[in-house]
Chains A and B, each alone.
Chain A
Amino acid sequence: MGGQSPAAAPILNTAGVFKHFGEVHAVDGVDLSISPGEVLSIVGPNGAGKTTLLKLLNGGHELDRGQVFFLGEDISRVSLVQRVNRGIVYSFQIPALFENLTAMEAVGLVLLARRKKTVVFFPVMEKFTEIRKEAQEILKMFNVPEDFPANLLPHGQRKLLDAAMAFAYRPKLLLLDEPTSGVSTAEKAKVMDTIMPNIEKSNTTTVIVEHDMEIVLRYSQRMIVMDQGKIFAQGVPKEVMENPKVREVLLGILASGKT
């Protein structure tokens, strides 16, 4: 897990990005820098603007003001689809799956999308053995059964499948929006223990929005605390957590997270 040194050029950085929804200042002037290979957590109370910030990075929302640089290039006006093609991939908080496709087909489709082979009419998908093998591997890594349509999977596996679909794209920057939301406390660790080793092994630069402080402390090298659309504090998770003001902001989360 290199890339910790501040000297390394950031893979992505923002300069004063703003996003307002009417009166709500969802993201209110955020300067952020992500180093290659690091796992960065964003924490904050509900409505702090975490998801909106992620969607400003991947192009899911349009910026009101400010700039986003990816690998040194200004991508502020680059569309969502093109940003995915450049390697910024987002995984949904509420799993956004293809309900009638099997996990195998969904991941296979992602692999085909990465290879730009989705406008191919012949032969049938099962014949693409290379794709099938890679999809099988990824599903095994993420512990998702191959042959069930997504709508038959339990919630924990739906979360894993969503992450697997994003991961299968081999992103340069992976954005995981609350990978454990809606998962029971007992299962949370299991979900993260499935996802994180894959990320660490592939050395994928990852931003995680997370509510569970235990997970943040365990898996991320750096954390950002957001409140009301602004970065409130950032640094090494343990040190940041010692700041009493941070504990005050995160009071709600800490109480439920039992940290």
Chain B
Amino acid sequence: MLQRFYRTALIVVLLILITGPIYFPSFVVYLLSYGLIMAIAALALNLLLGYTGLMSFGHGMFIGAGAYTVALMMKYVGIHSFEVLLPLSILISAGLAALVGCFCTRQIEIYFAMVTLAFGELLFVLCSKFYGFTGGTDGIRVKIPTLFGYVFKGSVDFYYFVFSLFLLCALAIWVICNSPFGKAIQAVRDNAQRVEYLGLLVMKYRLIAFIISGAFTGIAGVLMVSLTGHAVPESFQVFTSITIVFMVLLGGHTTFLGPAVGAIVFVFLQAWLKPLFFWQFFLGGAIILLVVFLPGGVLGGIQLWAAKALQRLRS
């Protein structure tokens, strides 16, 4: 019964996401695209946070890596197509993750978070200071790349591309989370010592999880810069990273789809609150309320509510 409820809810949401943009105003379509892009990043981060048990405060660096791969390739090499830029940025993000991971997966908990944060800031500073190459704090303007020669016309067009990539990424991450490797990282999260006592090197699993997570976040970076049309060094910065962390917690890190829900809710919440003078104040308030009343996040809350409602129906 509960399973059926979830399945129906999922289908309804998917239907809205598929048909909605035809009718929605372009601003809403833009926000939805933005939300789905961040949802890829949030799902990727949750592979690390929820499944491996490592908190990263540096995932912005992969958004930045993806974004600047696109921007720099366009500016200096003249590559304008997704089919080249996407694999390339996946490779570069994964490479960056491998490099950073070698330093930070030796640490755990707060130390891991701090090392990732430091690397993010390092890249931010590098990117802002190399004015001649990266355009410094002005960033680099970017046109939407083409897809196998197809030129995207308008926001609805691009939305469907984002949506399909989101589905692909979500499916891929879901398979990874439920694969033997996925179970191994969950084991690492639950009891790292026991994993070693089963003959598996914990560090290897943490590193691979970090690389996978970084690579998927890089995809989000590519889409992000294509949507906003502007690569900025702030993507590397801690504020971006914390936004992703917040999305994961908002949606619920204990469920697979929670982070995606969190990302979309966050984007709309932000757009709604932004006209207010102190919008960050309200966002901060929302975080506090969330931690106190909904530790399982929005999706965790919905599940709890659905389970309770079902029980009431039965009795």
B binding-site residues for A, Cβ under 8 Å: 175-176, 178-184, 186-187, 189-191, 193-194, 196-201, 204-205, 208
Contact = CB atoms under 8 A, between A and B. Distances in A.
A96 B181 contact: no
Interface of A: 58, 60, 80-82, 84-85, 89-90, 92, 96-101, 105-106, 108-110, 112-114, 117-126, 128, 165, 169
Given A100-B186, A108-B183, A118-B184, A113 B176 contact: no
B183 A105 contact: yes
A81 B265 CA distance: 44
Given A98-B191, A99-B190, A121-B176, A85 B199 contact: yes
B120 to A, nearest CB: 26
Contacts of B196: 80-81, 84
Contact of A81 (B182, B187, B199, B208): B199
Helix, strand, loop or mixed for chain B's interface? helix
B176 A96 contact: no
Contacts of B181: 118-121
Contacts of A121: 175-176, 179-182
Contacts of B208: 119
B187 A109 contact: yes
A101 B200 contact: no
B197 A98 contact: no
A109 B176 contact: no
B118 to A, nearest CB: 28
A98 B175 contact: no
Given A81-B199, A113-B200, A120 B180 contact: yes
A113 B201 CA distance: 11
A118 B200 contact: yes
Across chains A and B, which 7 residue pairs bring their CB atoms closest together, nearest first? A84-B199, A124-B178, A98-B190, A96-B194, A120-B180, A118-B184, A98-B187
B180 A117 contact: yes
